Amino acid sequence: MKILVAEDESTPALFLRRTLERLGHDVVVALDGMKAWELLQQGELRLVITDWMMPGLDGLELCRKIRGQGDSAYTYIILLTAREGLQDRLAGLNAGADDFLSKPTDPAELAARVAIAGRIVAMQEELERKNLQLAELATTDGLTGLKNRRCFNENLITACSFAVRYGYPLSLVMIDVDHFKSLNDSFGHPAGDSVLATLAGILRSETRDHDIVARYGGEEFAILLPATAAAEASLLAERLRSLTTSYPWPQRPITVSVGVATTGGDLATWSELLEAADRALYHSKRSGRDRITHHDSFTQDVVSHSTCDSLKA
């Protein structure tokens, strides 16, 4: 474990360093509180052993600054002190210390306290890892590995707000697999799932790292293209359509219908952009499928929900 020792006296600092290194730890020494704080900003140090009394920034203030970092990874703090009074210990705990070591420090006690710290840090790291996994699961579609609809909608709202505020174009591409229901009926749902997962891979491979690609629901996908004008978005949409059509699908040929919309003109909010892309998608459906439509290129008539549902069949 990498340990930061903050101790302004050279002899105790050397003792701590050598003892901890004999225990197999990687030790960094700071001779004052400000240097310790600087080192903490440069890299992740999960255990800090700090003296109470130091020039510039004492141990209590260092504890408070570490705890004030908020959502950063948890740092375990052992406070070195010759103070034994209850009020002093309470002051240390209130400042954010996890444990105490008496000065002068006994090597056996140091080893025991550090071992306890190591177990707690390991448990905390595992908890953080699991929390990251849960956060990823909450935003990811399990079948395709793409962002899910909830995550996509959150990104859409934010991206549209920035696009309007700063005057850059934002394009939205909506993609729907043609005749997907009949594919499931003919070959079974595992075959349909395989098509969706493969199509997700095509979409990921042809988009940029900062584009947001999501499974919007069922056989429908959505791609958010920041700083992308209508012509560029239409070219990408056509490339995706063509790649899908030419892919060697095992059961039968697969095609997609695509709708594209770009901010500007009458599209200034996320809901307007989404509605325009959706209308463009269903225009592609009504026009024969296996094609793309940009919302600027047709008369935007209203499509009823019943018509939309029948076109998906």
Q: What is the domain-level CATH number for residue 276?
A: 3.30.70.270
For residues 85 and 214, membership in a common domain is answered with no
Percent of the chain with pLDDT over 90: 60
Q: What is the DSSP string of 250-271?
A: SSS---EEEEEEESBTTB-SHH
Instruction: Write out pLDDT tens, residues 141-158.
Output: 989 999 999 999 999 999
Q: How far apart are CA 222 and CA 216, in angstroms?
A: 6
Query: Is residue 194 domain-resident?
Result: yes
Query: What average pLDDT does this structure show over 276-286?
Result: 94
Positions marked catalytic:
219
For residues 88 and 232, membership in a common domain is answered with no
Structure tokens at 201: 């891979």
For residues 238 and 293, membership in a common domain is answered with yes
25 pLDDT band, cuts 50/70/90, is very high
For residues 179 and 255, membership in a common domain is answered with yes
**CATH number of the domain bearing residue 108:** 3.40.50.2300
For residues 82 and 183, membership in a common domain is answered with no
For residues 119 and 225, membership in a common domain is answered with no
Last residue of a domain, one of 85, 108, 138: 138
**Sheet with 256-262: strands ordered across:** 212-217, 220-226, 170-177, 256-262, 292-294
Last residue of a domain, one of 76, 106, 138: 138
Query: What average pLDDT does this structure show over 8-26?
Result: 91
β-pair partners for 56: none
Rounded to 10 degrees, the C-alpha dihedral 132/136/137/142 comes to -140
For residues 301 and 154, membership in a common domain is answered with yes
β-pair partners for 225: 171
For residues 127 and 156, membership in a common domain is answered with no
CA-based nearest residue to 132, from 214, 77, 71: 71
Q: Which residue range(s) make up the domain with 84?
A: 2-138
Exposed / middle / buried, residue 33 (Cβ in 10 Å: 0-12, 13-18, 19+): buried
- Tally of domains in the chain: 2
Least confident of 50-54, 121-125, 145-149: 121-125
Query: Is residue 144 domain-resident?
Result: no
What's the whole-model pTM score?
0.63
For residues 86 and 219, membership in a common domain is answered with no
